[in-house]
Amino acid sequence: MKMRKWLIASIALNAFLIISICIFGYIYRDKIMQRFVALKGNPTIIMYGNSITAQGKWTSLLDRTDVMNNGLPGMSTYHFLQLLPSHVIDLHPKICFVKGGINDITVGVSQQRMQGYYKAILDQILENKIIPVVTLTIYEQNDPASKKEVDTLNAFLIHYCRQHNVEYIDLNYFISDSTGLKAEYAVDKTHLNEKAYEIWAGEINKVLEKKGI
């Protein structure tokens, strides 16, 4: 009888541990995959941008094990330029999806400086035979001043992309309206929810299919 109780307790404990491990693996699967990608090296795809990029679960969203999330929360285009060698160039990806600008706008960086940093980033990516793809800067919710700055930056980015035959993704077409980022796609004034990331991932997959990657 005592042995039977110990056996039941042992089975219950093992079942609990297995279930806990499965739950842990499911919740943190993207972080685990990112560690795998980092250890393997030479990612095919790099996601490079601010916290909006960093918060994307890209291995899960794109269903790939060769995508590295090198998002830099809180950083501006100046920081992206400074960290470009270690976070993109030296990793030799085939393609790099770049998105930034909203942090610059928030702290009042001038369009001249912001556009100059962005141009330098894209120029260096092209010079190193990496395919850049620009995700245009996303509007914030109900902020007309910010929206005006975003429009100016995006007009510059579209012009650059057309001049250099660079693909760009306009998420605002899907997730924003005349007032800015729609509430149904937002978790706060600036950041995106899962529905928005799924749309973004869909647009990324279209580019990857077009490029044969």
- What single DSSP character describes residue 141? B
Structure tokens at 23: 């739950």
Residue 28, pLDDT above cutoff 70: no
Tell me the mean pLDDT in the region 153-176. Answer: 98
Question: Would you state the torsion angle of the CA atoms of residues 116, 109, 197, 190, taken in this order, to the nearest 10 degrees?
Answer: -170
Question: How far from 43 is each of 6, 16, 85, 121, 131, CA to CA, in Å?
Answer: 48, 36, 15, 19, 13
The predicted pLDDT at position 11 comes to: 62
For the stretch 189-205, pLDDT in tens is 999 999 999 999 999 99
Q: How does residue 42 score in pLDDT terms, banded at 50, 70 and 90? A: confident
For the stretch 126-138, pLDDT in tens is 999 999 999 999 9
Domain residue ranges in the chain: 1-40, 42-211
- What single DSSP character describes residue 154? H
The rounded Cα 175 to chain-centroid distance in angstroms is 16
Q: How does residue 14 score in pLDDT terms, banded at 50, 70 and 90? A: low
Residue 20, pLDDT above cutoff 70: no
Tell me the mean pLDDT in the region 137-157. Answer: 97
Helix-, strand-, coil-residue percentages of the chain, each rounded to 5: 60, 15, 25
Q: Are 199 and 52 in contact (CB under 8 A)?
A: no
Encoded amino acid at 24, one letter:
F
CA atoms within 13 A on the CB side of 173: 10
Encoded amino acid at 13, one letter:
L
Q: Which option is the CATH number for 42-211: 3.40.50.1110, 3.40.50.1980, 3.90.1170.50, 3.40.50.720? A: 3.40.50.1110
Structure tokens at 112: 């001249």
pTM summary value:
0.82
The predicted pLDDT at position 37 comes to: 57
